[in-house]
Amino acid sequence: MPNVGDVLKNDVARGVAIGCGLVAAGWLLAPALRPAARAVLKNGLLLVELGREKMAEAGEAMEDLVAEVRAELTEARVAREQDSDRMTETPTVSAVEDG
């Protein structure tokens, strides 16, 4: 009959033993680890919410920036069109009446 040392030299047997040990440890430690797991999940959810808020704020800031740039471009375009209209206008000569 093989002893325990010989059985654990086999990789499959070692993996099964480790798996069974982890399941048993988890089952025994679950009540003690539950508060810690809840705290980790709670903090994770809070971080996700904070990340969403920051992304929303960044999106709003980007939208504001884009709106400002579009307004500047529109103002520049209108100014160029007004300048080009002034340049293409021909001066009118008014007749002076001798009286």
91 domain residue, yes or no:
no
51 vs 89 pLDDT, higher one: 51
Report how far residue 47's alpha carbon sits from residue 41's, in angstroms, rounded to the nearest whole number: 10
The verdict on residue 98 lying in a domain is: no
Q: Is residue 94 part of a domain?
A: no
Q: Is residue 82 part of a domain?
A: yes
Q: How far is CA 27 from the centre of its chain?
A: 37
Spacing of C-alpha 31 from chain mean position: 36
Q: How many domains does the chain have?
A: 1
Query: pTM of the predicted model, to two decimals?
Result: 0.49
Task: Give the tens place of pLDDT for each residue, 19-53.
Answer: 999 999 888 888 888 899 899 999 999 999 999 99
pLDDT of residue 40: 95
Is 96 within the bounds of a domain?
no
Domain that holds residue 26: 8-86
Please tell me which residue, 99 or 72, carries the higher pLDDT value: 72
Residue 92 lies in a domain: no
